[in-house]
Amino acid sequence: MKHNIVFVINYFHPDFASTSQLLTELCLHLQHDFNITVIAELHPDADEWKDKRKRIVYDRLENINIIRIRLPKVDKGNKLSRLRYIAAYFFYANVMVLRQKKLSFIYTISQPPILGGLIGTIGKLFKRAKHIYNIQDFNPEQAEAVGYTKRKLLFRAARWMDTLNCRWADHIITVGQDMQQTLLHRFANLPVTDNSVINNWTNEQDIVPLTKQHPKVAEFIERNGWKDKFIVMYSGNVGLYYDLENLIRITKQLSDIKDLVFVFIGEGAVKRQMQTFVDENELSQVYFLPFQPFDQLKYSLNAADVHLVVNQKGIKGVSVPSKIYGVMAAGKAVMGVLESGSEAERLIEESQCGVLAEPQQYEAIERQLRYLHNLSSSEITAYGARGRAYLEKHLRREQSLEKYRELLLSM
């Protein structure tokens, strides 16, 4: 008999968010072993979203039942808008969990901050199901690192609440060794909930190294006017936790290198601020593009010579930038702006797939980018090849998916 499991994950297929792609692949991998229901938001671009009478939309992906919740549109640069979205999601997700029958497992992630885990705690108490808590980001530590608010009492209360979620969970999954250390620190020498480290992943069979001469890659480069350019790319969430609003200033310092272009692909809270800086300084070598369609991702990633993999100072042990896996799969050199001892820094160091600088050390970052630009094409290619080889040995998608499957079956 297959057990019933509900995944409470606000972003799900066909959303472009990294957690959406990861959890969609995980559910598809588990669908033959479990009866899966997913509770997620109804994407604002969906046709059903326009019908204000429909709060709940039922959908299906292969064997997976999906409950989609129509939520207020969110302006990521507006705190009140974020809070309204989070409150609506929290309320309706709880209602949908409590309506489920004969649940064996509730699987939640650490989004929305704190409340993702609390949904699992509430569901466990009322449905007597086991709670698996997947911490993709530690909060309030993440919000505290970027100074989201100065109210320290609020941070203490939020940390207490999320630690309670961790204590009540039946199993906790973190996505990096440094994050596991943060979990242990949370428990302060008290017995720790059973936990595992399972790395995130990318589809290394789909994202493969391609040269700039590949027809689709060449067409992408030509269309955007980057032919014969040395391309430094950031592809992902242009959000609060990456210091991109300050890193963008380095593009001005490097404007003397005529064949160097910076490309930022994605959306997020600081994108407008970055664009304003570029416009005010008339920087013609900086480009912004929206998220690329998933089936085009392998071509956009392979257009770059170097990829930026960055985190804000204070994010060590709190979050792992998932883009590192896609960059390594594409076999591209990495410019890592990461704290020493963080998970992504460890992967770059062990694989020797790129160069590193500490967050907020802007002169060091500029020097490293000049160093990469001055390398021969074969030297740049060698960096990327080492990353791909390391990923194939240690970070294959199937390895992580099977760890999840074995864990759930064992429970």
Instruction: Quote the DSSP letter at residue 137.
Output: B
Lookup: tokens for 222: 């030509």
List the chain domain ranges: 3-201+396-410, 215-394
Instruction: Please give the pLDDT value at position 181.
Output: 94
Instruction: Give the residues across from 39 on adjacent strands.
Output: 8, 67
CB of 168 closer than 8 Å to CB of 131: yes
Which of the listed CATH numbers 3.30.300.30, 3.40.190.290, 3.40.50.2000, 3.30.2090.10 matches domain 215-394? 3.40.50.2000
Instruction: Quote the DSSP letter at residue 375.
Output: S
Q: pLDDT of 280-325, one tens digit each? A: 999 999 999 999 988 899 999 999 999 999 999 988 999 999 899 9
Instruction: Please give the pLDDT value at position 1.
Output: 83
Helix (H), strand (E) at residue 368: helix 362-374
Q: pLDDT of 313-370, one tens digit each? A: 988 999 999 899 999 999 999 999 999 999 999 999 999 999 999 999 999 999 999 9
> Mean of the per-residue pLDDT values for the chain?
93
Q: pLDDT of 147-193, one tens digit each? A: 666 677 888 898 999 999 999 999 999 999 999 999 999 998 889 99
Can you say whether the dihedral through the CA atoms of 397, 403, 409, 411 is positive or negative? negative
Q: pLDDT of 280-290, one tens digit each? A: 999 999 999 99
Instruction: Please give the pLDDT value at position 77.
Output: 67
Lookup: tokens for 253: 């310092």
Q: Which fold has domain 3-201+396-410?
A: Rossmann fold (3.40.50)
User: Average pLDDT of 239-254?
Assistant: 93
Torsion of the alpha carbons at 270, 276, 278 and 284, rounded to the nearest 10: 120
Q: pLDDT of 46-66, one tens digit each? A: 777 777 778 899 999 999 999
Fold equal for 3-201+396-410 and 215-394: yes
Torsion of the alpha carbons at 378, 383, 389 and 393, rounded to the nearest 10: 170
Question: Which whole-number Å values give the CA distances from 168 to 76, 89, 107, 173, 203, in the listed order?
Answer: 31, 22, 13, 14, 33
Reply yes or no on whether the pLDDT at 78 is more than 80: no
